[in-house]
Amino acid sequence: RTARLVGLHSRQVATGPTLPAGLAARLDATRLDPRDGVHLRIFKEEELVEVWIADGEIYRLFDSLPICRFSGGLGPKLREGDGQSPEGFFTVEAAALNPNSAHFLSFDLGFPHAGDRAKGRSGSLLMVHGGCLSVGCYAMTDAGIAQIYPLVQASIRAGHPVPVHAFPFRMTPERLEAARASPWIDEWRKLAEGWARFERTHRPPEVSFCGTETVFERRPGCSEASGRQI
């Protein structure tokens, strides 16, 4: 009973109207405010999630948290049940937040996005969540998701949906060259374009899906990750 009460209290703290005290103190020390916008970058090979927070016109790195477990290997998710965690450019909005998750806390990445659906890809409930068990998700441990979830929630509550970019690895030219024989190299080169834009500007690029093509602008007639037409 005591353990259940502690878990409930932690969930209430993490999802409450104000940020948990320890997290708020760290933000104060860096003068960053998640209500200005949050951006997450996931790296499979490095088993890492980077948390970036807007600071004026750019985003600054606030934290890097280890992934406890993800499913499958490097490469995109293709279909329901393939045991693969997705890669790509996603946007997390309010409907994706699950404060009552069986995995403590979670948010849905929104796979398949419009571009994935155009490629015939399928899947559901692909999340970032607590614990250390993954069936296509990114499991961060309860302690890890307790750091990420309140920041994502604060950004969304302030009117800033959270771009989440999931990469197979850090998309440097050298790492791409080493992967040139992969069947996914063309897809990874497109991911690398988005990665490089952020590296140059420290601002998440605009992403639209025009059928199976990913473009880095808001192009009329194409779709956002949610499927909404632009």
Round to whole Å and give the CA distance between 191 and 28.
33
Comparing C-alpha atoms, which of 130, 135, 145, 106 is closest to residue 20? 145
Chain centroid, CA 228 distance in Å: 19
End-to-end CA distance of the chain: 50
**Which residues are catalytic, by number?**
129, 137
Residues forming a β-bridge with 108: 127
Q: Exposure of 34 by Cβ count < 10 A (0-12 exposed, 13-18 middle, 19+ buried)?
A: buried
